[in-house]
Amino acid sequence: MELIFLGTGAGRPVKERNVSAIALQISQSRNFWLFDCGEGTQHQLMRTAYKLSRLDNVFITHMHGDHTFGLPGLLSSRAFLGGEEPLQLFGPQGIREWVETALKLTATRITYDIHIQEIEEGVIFENEYYAVEAAKLNHRIESFGYRVTEKPRVGRLKAELLSAMGVVSGPMCGKLKNGEDIVLPDGRTVKAAEVTEPAVPGRVVTILGDTSPCDNALLISRDADILVHEATFNASLPEKALEYGHSTTLHAAETAQRAGAKQLILTHFSTRYSAEDLPPLVDEAKSIFPFTAAAYDMMVMPIRRTKPE
């Protein structure tokens, strides 16, 4: 499970930084998800090992162009590149009209089904392995944050202990793995809890859209393994940040600290900041939350599991 930052800038692309897009590679397959799709996102994807045909889900935080202008072209290219499996697209009100109008007016032929869901707050996606929760943030237009929660993995059976008990692999082990107690032929009861290692906790990734500080940002960031938070402006510009519905480095750090996140990744930097300006921005955030890093285009961030206690 890993994040790849395809674009880390705000407003418009610059030579060293594209606009917003983040890929999330999921554990159980070679497929990936996409969060936002600014102009040029598909070009950035060409620099990775990810294939558009393996894109499952797209989550749009809000309708501003630096988060959406790359979407019609990416959907078109997915068809050209042999994508046949259905794609799910989640986003705020207006995402359906935007996509359907763009594809219609350009006579773009899509060879796969696109399921578009205009979201409200709450759990918007769930499968066997993951759940995704959306929450409204505080921006100039409707903007969402997404919390991706990996479900816990069942602990392994204690093979040596089972062997000593005379339990061999087969249906009995299957029942124990499912949490069911079993009775052996000699009448002994084997309790699943006693022969199973602790469950492996799932990982939590929170990706916020554009926002100024708000309660919902705290809510969906609670105890996140990684919190991706915009830091459009440095600490000297709080009034400007709030005027435009954005955050400073210190706002992001305060949210991470209050939410109990394990790691903070800053992104969505104003075009006024160059690559050389990023270390001072990180230092500002670290004054409040030490576990902070700045995202840069094509940065890969592994998301490691927390070992059970």
DSSP-based three-state secondary structure for 187? coil
pLDDT of 27 above 90: no
Note the pTM of the prediction, 2 decimals. 0.89
CA distance 242 to 245: 5
Name the active-site residue from 36, 56, 66, 277.
Answer: 66
The pLDDT tens digits of the residues spanning 78-92 come to 999 888 899 999 999
Q: Which residues are annotated as a binding site?
A: 62, 64, 66-67, 139, 210, 268
The pLDDT tens digits of the residues spanning 248-257 come to 999 999 999 9
Quick one: which H or E segment has residue 59?
Answer: strand 55-59
pLDDT attached to residue 152: 86
* Structural domains of the chain, with CATH: 2-153+200-302 (3.60.15.10), 159-194 (no CATH)
Contact assessment for residue 31 and residue 1, using Cβ atoms and an 8 Å cutoff? no
* Confidence band of 163 (pLDDT split at 50, 70, 90): confident
Strands across the sheet with 299-302, in order?
114-118, 87-91, 55-59, 32-35, 21-25, 2-7, 299-302
The pLDDT tens digits of the residues spanning 196-232 come to 777 778 999 999 999 999 999 999 999 999 999 999 9
The pLDDT tens digits of the residues spanning 109-149 come to 999 999 999 999 999 999 989 999 999 999 999 999 999 99
* Confidence band of 308 (pLDDT split at 50, 70, 90): low
Establish whether 186 is a catalytic residue. Answer: no
pLDDT of 236 above 70: yes
Q: Which residues are annotated as a binding site for Zn(2+)?
A: 62, 64, 66-67, 139, 210, 268
Q: 54 vs 34, 75, 81, CA distance in Å?
A: 11, 12, 10
